[in-house]
Amino acid sequence: MRTLDELDVEGKRVLVRVDFNVPLDADSGRITDDTRIRAALGTLVELREKGARLLLAAHLGRPKGREDKLSLRPAADRLSELLGAEVVLADSLDDVPDGDVVMLENVRFEAGETGNDSWLARRYAELADVYVNDAFGAAHRAHASTEAVAHLLPSAAGRLLEREVATLRRILEAPERPLVAVVGGAKVTDKIGVLEAFLQRADRILIGGAMCFPFFKAQGHGVGASLCEDEGLEPARRVLAAGGEKLRLPTDLLAGRELSAQTETRALDGVAVPDGWMGLDIGRRTAAGFAEVIGDAGTVFWNGPMGAFELEPFAAGTRTVAVAVAESDAVTVVGGGDSAAALAAFGLADRVSHLSTGGGASLELIEGKTLPGVEALA
């Protein structure tokens, strides 16, 4: 993968694909978490110091045509504050000003973007001299601004993309041992590729979150009203059969009557969930055991919460895991998404070795899949 060290950018306009797909407050339209914008600053500052003029491309949400609520105006304004330089937002590809820092409007407003349209890629390429992809969170998509355009200009990875790929590949190829994978979230089917990859590489696999319940059901336990995808049963059986002693499931749970902060709760000394109850967090005994395994690790990869952490009655399991990861002396890598949100909620985001900006991309890389936005830079 080519890097910035291989590009001559002095006096040139550089098209930089960044990941500014940031959360916005539904009422005010203000950015509620600017982590992804901050993560791009290293590359943007370096390019400007080398004499480049910047043309930024990014997406926000999944618009169907042009939607004002998904304009990149908030991102442009926030980047202006962080860079200490005016960021001009170009409303149309037909009218792109020749400024020092210009941002194209949401590329997903363009009809051919998600279809990796070659004509649209040529339009992007005509606006710049060089291309840099620093949007790891979009690198698993073959879109016009992430894949097709990379073949039309001298191109390379930005520092964020370079660091993300190197860190995640190191987990697969040369981790400090023991390698502990902590995998949570809602669905086994979303994470089966990751689980199968870690069955080959990890020393311990800790499973939490609602994705536990297909495993429990496959073992013959009642799951009550818990979220349990039937299509996850067969993958769960495969992982159970292959996992042996390296696989560790919860041994106790915290249940609630419904998914609400005000619901009645019940600590279960076991994993069988009674009818009318939902398993919404791992139990204290499980959380303590997971923390002990994490504390002895050489490398930790964590993706997915241990329960409904956004509701305080069910946050304890995820909080215990997050604190254990933050306090570990291991190389700690958190794979974006809800895990990153949990670290931020608990004030621990700056206490891990690497916090990925791309949940889906990080999982696909761990699974061994090809990321089109990365392969285009080879």
* Residues with a known catalytic role: 36, 187, 337, 360
Phi, psi of 5 (to 5 degrees): -65, -20
What is the b/e burial string over 216-232, where b = at least 16 CB atoms within 10 angstroms of the residue's CB?
bbbeeeebbbbbbbeeb
Cα–Cα dist 329/236, whole Å: 31
E strand or H helix at 317: helix 316-327
Q: Would you tell me the crossing angle of helices 359-367 and 188-201 to the nearest 10 degrees? A: 40
Cα–Cα dist 275/94, whole Å: 60
Amino acid at 263: T
Q: Which of 134, 139, 175, 133 is closest to 154 using CA atoms?
A: 133
Residue 23: asked if its preceding bond is cis (omega within 30°), the reply is no
Cα–Cα dist 171/189, whole Å: 22
Helix (H), strand (E), coil (C) string for 221-256: CCECCCCCCHHHHHHHHHHHHHHHHHEECCCCEEEE
Alpha-carbon distance values, 157 to 7, 54, 62, 65, 143 (Å): 10, 15, 24, 29, 16
Q: Which of 111, 47, 103, 98 is closest to 73 using CA atoms?
A: 103
Cα–Cα dist 135/170, whole Å: 20
DSSP state, 149? G
